[in-house]
């Protein structure tokens, strides 16, 4: 059964791949045989992750990308095809926001949050699916958030954008699964990351307080979420498309 998780000879694109869930997923893909293209806004973490992948014996490419820009999304796909000649897996992991009350958001901030969390999935999935459809096989994994399931006034924009990702996952799966491209979604709860820790520090909220809101009594680690990403990326999930996997250490979706 371990062969079903093999990514030998496959090429994956991971956005937000320099840190957190993206980095953990990229490294796990490499351990299972994939070459990986890492995209994100900051070159330094991208190049660091590339070095880690190459140390595992796989090829890697860093492509600094603003995933809110459709032209840069297409350029990312073009760079992948130019370097490796194929694109088998896309992980739409780029995202993020800050927390503030609904009336404090500016129009530019509104557009930025929706851009990085929702528009990016739309633009990049449509660009990446073309070579996948031509090959008759591929997998797209979208990273959503537990915020998509809850009414959270301090994270209203982020939650709304991620709820859109959940819906897009199903629509894209309905459009492309019969053509060989599966599309699935992971909904993680709080995960140990620099962005989470920075946000908690800004609001003077202890990490332990957030951990205790989770059914498991702790927050997740990026490596734990990465194994769910590997499941959807690989043939281990060959009969799964349009599905949502809740990874948040609680009994059910309401427990995020």
Catalytic residue among 5, 110, 158, 246: 158
The rounded distance, in Å, linking the Cα atoms of 9 and 222 is 25
Delimit the domains of the chain by residue range: 2-191+222-238
Catalytic annotation present for 158: yes
Each residue's pLDDT tens digit, 185-238: 999 988 887 777 777 787 788 888 877 767 788 889 999 999 999 999 999 999
The rounded distance, in Å, linking the Cα atoms of 122 and 111 is 14
The two structure tokens encoding residue 113: 């949050």
217 Rama class: left (phi>0) / alpha (psi -120 to 50) / beta: left
Each residue's pLDDT tens digit, 139-196: 999 999 988 988 888 889 999 999 999 999 999 999 999 999 999 999 998 888 777 7
The rounded distance, in Å, linking the Cα atoms of 190 and 192 is 7
Distances (CA, A) of 43 to 55, 63, 223, 251: 18, 8, 22, 38
Each residue's pLDDT tens digit, 45-81: 999 999 999 999 999 999 999 999 999 999 999 999 9
Write down the pTM of the prediction: 0.93
From the options 3.30.590.10, 1.10.10.10, 3.40.50.720, 2.40.100.10, give the CATH code of 2-191+222-238: 3.40.50.720
């Amino acid at each position: 059964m371990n062969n079903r998780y093999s990514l030998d000879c496959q090429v994956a694109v991971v956005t937000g791949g320099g840190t957190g869930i993206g980095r953990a997923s990229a490294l796990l893909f490499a351990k299972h045989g994939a070459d990986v293209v890492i995209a994100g806004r900051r070159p330094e973490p991208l190049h660091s992750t590339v070095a880690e992948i190459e140390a595992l014996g796989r090829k890697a490419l860093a492509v600094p990308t603003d995933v809110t820009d459709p032209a840069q999304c297409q350029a990312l796909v073009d760079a992948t095809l130019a370097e490796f000649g194929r694109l088998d897996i896309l992980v739409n992991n780029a995202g993020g926001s800050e927390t503030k009350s609904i009336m404090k958001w500016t129009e530019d901030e509104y557009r930025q949050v929706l851009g990085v969390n929702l528009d990016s999935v739309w633009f990049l999935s449509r660009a990446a699916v073309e070579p996948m459809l031509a090959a008759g096989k591929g997998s797209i994994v979208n990273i959503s958030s537990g915020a998509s399931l809850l009414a959270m006034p301090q994270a209203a924009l982020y939650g709304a954008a991620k709820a859109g990702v959940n819906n897009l996952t199903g629509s894209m799966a309905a459009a492309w699964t019969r053509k060989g491209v599966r599309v699935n979604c992971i909904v993680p709860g709080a995960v140990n990351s620099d962005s989470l820790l920075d946000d908690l520090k800004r609001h003077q909220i202890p990490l332990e307080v957030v951990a205790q809101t989770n059914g498991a009594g702790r927050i997740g680690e990026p490596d734990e979420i990465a194994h769910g990403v590997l499941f959807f990326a690989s043939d281990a999930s060959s009969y799964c498309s349009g599905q949502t996997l809740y990874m948040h250490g609680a009994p059910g979706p309401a427990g995020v």
